[in-house]
Every structure is written in structure tokens, then in C-alpha cells.
Amino acid sequence: MSKIYEALIQAGKRSASRAASFRPNSSEEAPLLRLWDQNSQLEWKIIGAVATIMLFFGLLLVVIANQFMIRALRSENDQRALAIATNLSDAAARPIMEKNILALYAVLTKYARLNGAAYAFIEDNSGQIIAHSIRPFPPALKPTLTADERNQVNRRIVTLASKTVYETRVPILEGQLGAAHLGIWAEGVKNEIYSVRLPFIGLIIIVLLVAVGTAVLVVRAILAPIRGPADSVAESSTGEFEAPVENKVAQ
């Protein structure tokens, strides 16, 4: 019985000695682990820097594109308002020359009912209001222009019923018969700009996120040859450390 006991003790000692021989030296393992940690940290720093730079310039591009789009859409709305006001001045010329007030009011009513229009009115060559689509006529809307300004196209921002209105003024027959005024609700213009701008900005943001994700994958692929040797050494070191433990458990 004692011989069996001594044989088991000797076998245990031999297993312990084999495990000690396979166990890597701590002085060799520490630099390998530090190298692996440094490579991993460097990789994430590079990826973070690339992603941050792309996001910064991408968001800057979104802001610039947004401003340009707002200006372009606002200019387009101004041109459309000018075209409508010009048509109004042309349509009002004949009733004014014929002094047909009923026909003039009919023209004003037609243009005042256009989508987004707030009002329309006509002034004569002396600056007096001779026809308008809103009753009573607000005194704040009465223009105060010089004789030279009455012969030119003008734009102004006014307030009507606590709401902002963009008004366009177009002379009738170069100001000889007065001028036509057309007011457009600012809220309608802003809503139209917003409805056009939102999908475009959303598309730019989606493209930006896809570009950042693609850049991250490309950077990781570029760094893979550098990261590979350190990962292999770390994995082999870990495998050598775990192998004796598993063998010991199996015995």
C-alpha cells in the first residue's frame, strides 16, 4: 500500500515539474502583453482620430450645404413672388387706365387667393391706396417711399395679425399708374423651405455615417498586418500558459 502511495506522489511531482517547464517565464510574458496592449491602443486611437476628423468635416459640410440651400430656396421664392407680383401689375394696368374699380378688385381678389398669399393692393402714382384685398386696410401696410423708389421694384418685411409677411412691390407701367403690392406669408415660405431641406440634409447625414463606417473598416484592414504578429504572440503565450493547467486537470 505504501508503495502505491509513493508511486502516486512521484507521479504528481513529475506532473508538476512538466507544468513548470511548459509555463512561460513572467519576465518574457510581460513585454509581449505590453506590446499587444500598445498595438491595440494605437489601433483604436488611429480609428478614433480618423472617425473624428471625418465627422467634423462632414458636419461642417452639412452646415455649409444647409446655409446654401436655405439661400437658394429663399431666392427661388423671392423670384416666384416677383413673377406673381409682375403678373398682378400687368393685369391691373387696364382696369386702372379704364378706371374700372370693380374689375380692379376682381383682379386683386384673384391674386390674394393664391396659395400662400396674405394680401394684394394697388397704390396710385402719388402713393394713395386705391384698391386692396383686406378690410379694413391696416395703416402699417401703407408704403412710405420716395418718388424715385416708387419707380423701382421693392421688397420689405411687414407684420400683419402678429405674423410676418414678405411683401413684393412692382411698379405699373414704370410707375406711371402706381404699383402693385403682393404679400406672402413668411410661415408658408419657411415651411416650404423646411420640407425641401429636411430630406436633403437627412440624405447627407446617412452618406456621412456610411463613409465613416467604411473608413473605420479600411483603417482596421490597413492595420491588420501590424496587429497580426502581436496577436499571434499573445495567443501563443496564452495557449502555452493554459496547456499545462488543462493537462494537469486531465491527469
Task: For the chain, 251 residues long, give each residue's pLDDT as a single digit of tens.
Answer: 555 545 545 555 555 555 445 444 445 455 545 555 566 676 777 777 877 888 888 888 888 888 888 888 888 888 999 999 999 999 999 999 988 999 999 999 999 999 889 999 999 888 889 999 988 888 888 887 777 777 888 899 998 888 999 999 999 988 888 899 999 999 988 888 888 878 888 888 888 888 888 877 887 777 666 655 545 544 554 444 444 444 443 44
**Which run of H or of E encompasses 138?**
none
CATH topology of domain 81-187: Beta-Lactamase (3.30.450)
- Region of 24 (left: φ > 0; alpha: ψ -120 to 50; beta: rest) is beta
* pLDDT score recorded for residue 84: 93
CB 168 within 8 A of CB 153: yes
* pLDDT score recorded for residue 13: 53
CB atoms within 10 A of CB 117: 20
Give CB contacts under 8 A, 24+ apart, made by 235-238.
Answer: 237/24, 237/29, 237/32, 237/33
* pLDDT score recorded for residue 195: 83
**Which run of H or of E encompasses 119?**
strand 117-123
CB 191 within 8 A of CB 164: no
* pLDDT score recorded for residue 217: 82
